[in-house]
Amino acid sequence: MANTYLLAYNTVLAAGWAYIWFLTAETVYKGGWTAEVYERTSLPLKICQTAAGMEVVHSVLGVVKSPFFTTFIQVLSRYWALWGIVEQAPEAIKTGSVKLLTVGDFTLQLNLLTLLFAWSTTEILRYGFYAAKEIDSVPYPLLWLRYTTFIVLYPLGVASEMTMVYLAMPTIRKERPLSFSMPNKVNFAFDYYWFCWCAIACYIPGLPELYLHMLRQRKKILGGPPKNAKKVA
């Protein structure tokens, strides 16, 4: 029963993220940019990312072997990026970007498009990999992609998340969403703007260690022959 459920769960989310990737690519191909992409992907993005919360439940119940704390932190960071940042300042996110460099007519920039590309590509591979595991048939190319593409996608995703924070912070500071001022009935004050700075600070010590852990996992898993693909936990 658990295998059937996990197969369905991972297959549906792999398809959902593939749909987000398709909508993003199609919109850009037709001449749309971040504002149009946001309008088209907002709902499926919220559904797919929110559904990831079930991974924490799976870990708690022992349905999967993933460590609870790592799973919780990863899901929480995505929740914060989507619900705590993007959805708190959508106008800034839809129109803003951070330029990294310009070479001729080409400009490399971080924005909502790079965030969606990094997230959706990562999740298509991740959920696709988990779904294949449930039927005990992980193709080696999928295994290789699962443990290789993060080398580029992880830094791109984190940089894009931080770009979203950078774009949203002026709006958050001005409009003060999710903040509480005193006096009030519960005698409690909370400034979401400064909370965001604290959240950013928490990224700094954890990111290098997580990246190194993923590199160690890659070496461990891809160090064996392709037939070991079915034995990956």
User: Mind listing the pLDDT tens digit for each residue in 172-205?
Assistant: 999 999 888 877 777 788 899 999 999 999 888 8
Q: Which of 55, 123, 134, 161 is catalytic?
A: 161
Q: Which amino acid is at 101?
A: L
State the pLDDT confidence band at 61, using cuts at 50, 70 and 90. very high
The residue-averaged pLDDT of 29-34 equals 93
What DSSP line would sit under 150-174, residue for residue? HHHHHHHHHHHHHHHHHHHHHHHHH
Average pLDDT, the chain: 90
The pLDDT value recorded for residue 228 is 46
In this structure, are residues 54 and 150 in contact, taking their beta carbons and an 8 Å threshold?
no
The residue-averaged pLDDT of 136-150 equals 94
Distance CA(166)–CA(161), nearest Å, equals 9
The pLDDT value recorded for residue 1 is 65
**pLDDT exceeds 90 at position 93:** yes
pTM (two decimals) = 0.89
Known catalytic residue at 91? no
The distance of Cα 195 from the centroid of its chain, to the nearest Å, equals: 20
Q: Where are the beta strands (DSSP E) in the chain?
A: 98-103, 106-110
Q: For residue 45, what are the domain limits?
A: 2-231
The pLDDT value recorded for residue 229 is 46
Q: Which of 19, 79, 154, 193 is catalytic?
A: 154
Total domains in the chain come to: 1
CA angle 179, 78, 24 (to 5 degrees): 115
Known catalytic residue at 5? no
Looking at the chain, the whole-number percentage of residues with pLDDT higher than 70 is 95
